[in-house]
Chain A
Amino acid sequence: MANVTGALVAKSLVLVAKKVEENKDYLCELDGEVGDGDHGVSMTIGMRAVSRAAKALPPQCTPSEAFQSAADAYADEVGATIGPLYEAAFAAAAESVQGKQNLNEISDWAIVYRSMANAIQQLGKAQLGDKTLLDAFFPAVDHIQELSTKGGNLEAALLSTAERALKAAKDTRNLVPQKGRASRLGDRAKGHQDAGATSLAVVLKGFADGIKKG
């Protein structure tokens, strides 16, 4: 089983950034159906900064320091709505695992993901069902929480959590948006998959793959 040190968290952030960039056009396409079509661009700009910051971290950094560097990178580079949301999420992740040298337990990641989702909700004030990234994140958080009570393999748990997020992102098709630009379309946005929920699923898949790779 992988020893998830701060250095591995940093390496995983680099992979998350790569995955987000690979999905840039797809995310823009989803956003353009109901929003202004730049979600993939904003996410890519932010994650590129995260990737640069992660690569510059010393190898003995803690997981908390790795998450904090991601928060700081987002804060300076992105703006938009997604910038402060991910900044807050990464900062909350950093705080939730402060003092830990590694994140080897499923319960560690349950805490990380729940802190991130809560921070996003607190800042963006979206509720479940508002057709935002939280509609992918909260089901994933509940899923990993449940897995953490059963014990088992961390890599498998992170992968299945990412899959849960992706399924939930696809289910956002049926929702009517209440936040952001798309909310002004009301029912017209029904039938479209939410871009923010989709990119969140990509981020979780990036963590899962990064930890698995070791």
Chain B
Amino acid sequence: MVEQMVEGYVAANDHIIKRVGKRSIARANSPIQGKVGIVVGGGSGHLPAFAGYVGKGMADGAAFGNVFASPPAKPVIEATLAVNGGAGVMYTYGNYQGDCINFDKAQDKCREMGIPVQTVVLNDDVLSAPKDQAHKRRGIGGLFLVWHVAGAKAEQMASLDEVVAVTAKANANTRTVGVGLTSCIVPANGKPTFSLPDNEMEIGLGIHGEPGIKRVKVRPIDSVIDEIMEAILADLDYKGTDVALLVNGLGGSPAEELYVVYRRVKQICDANKINIKFKHVGNQVTALEMQGTSVSLMRLDEEMYQLINNTTVDTCMYKKV
């Protein structure tokens, strides 16, 4: 099924991307001489993440895995070779063991071929591990914000070290918490991954239909958002700062609901003097048809704000003027 999806995906976006392998794509005009190439990827089932962000202002190449499973090293290598314009390549992806192993393998092989490759692994999911074990945290919705900064920096023809540094800084300033109301069905499996009674929800869940940290009774949405924001604000000091904000849908929630979420998030930000300088509401990092939402906040310094504000993004599945 994934290969049929890739075939359709490439055909539908052939003005922006080209296929460079069975499971790999790159910007149509790549390699761009002198520009750091950014390669992203991960399991399928999360569109627009990850391949949706290939295009101007974000990523240069992507590798597709099976549904919710990391790609093998091979498509990552194909994408790397396709986007290498002589300035090196940066990998950036969510912190999952499979992605780490396969991307690391690709990185080793590409370095052997003489291509400078660096990696920034993203770990914004607050509830997936305690703060003192932050290296174990997953990467979820926050990648959407981090990649704005990374892509913009690379677009300015910055060096590999500079792109890596600003991406790591963006990741360090980003936190996300998610909540799910239903599980999802992995097509090759055919059944919901876990069962959730109608009157219960999972707090702290990831983007693969895997269970979260706790299961609670469904409550009015404002009190759920309060809990999400409390967890985020307790983990990193956002008071009085400028932020970029994403209210993300997990795939199965109506857009209307996400605006109800945004309303409450905005109230909480106002009360904490958090200044929202960039915002987006929509399905970005999804888990097939799962119902639910996640909220991501990224603290902005002047450099990050300028990058996110001044760069045009024109990718397969996301545009920003």
Interface residues of A (CB under 8 A from B): 25, 28, 32-38, 40-42, 45, 75-85, 123-124, 179-181, 183-185, 188
Q: Which residues does chain B contribute within 8 Å of A79, judged by CB atoms?
A: 65-66, 69-72, 98, 102
Q: Which residues does chain B contribute within 8 Å of A41, judged by CB atoms?
A: 66-67, 69, 186, 188-189
Q: Which of B115-161 touch A at CB < 8 Å?
A: 128-129, 136, 138
Q: Which residues does chain B contribute within 8 Å of A81, judged by CB atoms?
A: 70, 96-98, 101
Determine if A80 and B69 form an interchain contact, defined as CB atoms under 8 angstroms apart: yes
| Stretch touching chain A among B167-175, B203-211, B223-231, B277-285 | B203-211
Determine if A75 and B211 form an interchain contact, defined as CB atoms under 8 angstroms apart: no
Q: How far is the CB of B196 from chain A (nearest CB, A)?
A: 12
Q: Which residues does chain A contribute within 8 Å of B189, judged by CB atoms?
A: 25, 28, 32, 37-38, 40-41
Q: List 17 A-B contacts (CB under 8 A).
A: A36-B208, A37-B194, A37-B210, A38-B68, A38-B186, A42-B66, A75-B73, A76-B72, A78-B69, A79-B66, A79-B70, A79-B71, A79-B72, A180-B97, A181-B208, A184-B128, A185-B211
Determine if A80 and B70 form an interchain contact, defined as CB atoms under 8 angstroms apart: yes
With A41-B189, A77-B72, A84-B105 already in contact, the answer to whether A36 and B97 are too (CB < 8 A) is: no
Q: Any chain A CB within 8 A of the CB of B239? A: no
Q: How far is the CA of A180 from the CA of B99 in the complex (A)?
A: 11
Q: How far is the CA of A79 from the CA of B129 in the complex (A)?
A: 24
Q: How far is the CB of B112 from chain A (nearest CB, A)?
A: 16
Q: Any chain A CB within 8 A of the CB of B193? A: yes
With A41-B66, A80-B66, A179-B97 already in contact, the answer to whether A184 and B188 are too (CB < 8 A) is: no
Q: Which residues does chain B contribute within 8 Å of A28, judged by CB atoms?
A: 186, 189, 191
State the main secondary structure of chain B at its contact with A: loop
Q: How far is the CA of A49 from the CA of B43 in the complex (A)?
A: 19
Q: How far is the CA of A83 from the CA of B74 in the complex (A)?
A: 12
Determine if A42 and B97 form an interchain contact, defined as CB atoms under 8 angstroms apart: no
With A79-B66, A84-B101 already in contact, the answer to whether A183 and B72 are too (CB < 8 A) is: no
State the main secondary structure of chain A at its contact with B: helix
Q: Which residues does chain B contribute within 8 Å of A40, judged by CB atoms?
A: 189
Q: Which residues does chain B contribute within 8 Å of A185, judged by CB atoms?
A: 211, 213
Q: How far is the CB of A70 from chain B (nearest CB, A)?
A: 15
Q: Which residues does chain A contribute within 8 Å of B209, judged by CB atoms?
A: 32, 36-37
Q: A36-B186, A38-B66, A84-B102 are in contact. List 8 more A-B contacts (CB 8 A).
A: A28-B186, A36-B209, A37-B194, A38-B69, A38-B189, A81-B96, A81-B97, A179-B97
Q: Which residues does chain B contribute within 8 Å of A124, judged by CB atoms?
A: 97, 101
Q: Which residues does chain A contribute within 8 Å of B71, judged by CB atoms?
A: 79
Determine if A183 and B136 form an interchain contact, defined as CB atoms under 8 angstroms apart: yes
Determine if A83 and B186 form an interchain contact, defined as CB atoms under 8 angstroms apart: no
Q: Which residues does chain B contribute within 8 Å of A83, judged by CB atoms?
A: 69-70, 72, 98, 102
Q: How far is the CA of A141 from the CA of B172 in the complex (A)?
A: 43
Q: Which residues does chain B contribute within 8 Å of A183, judged by CB atoms?
A: 136
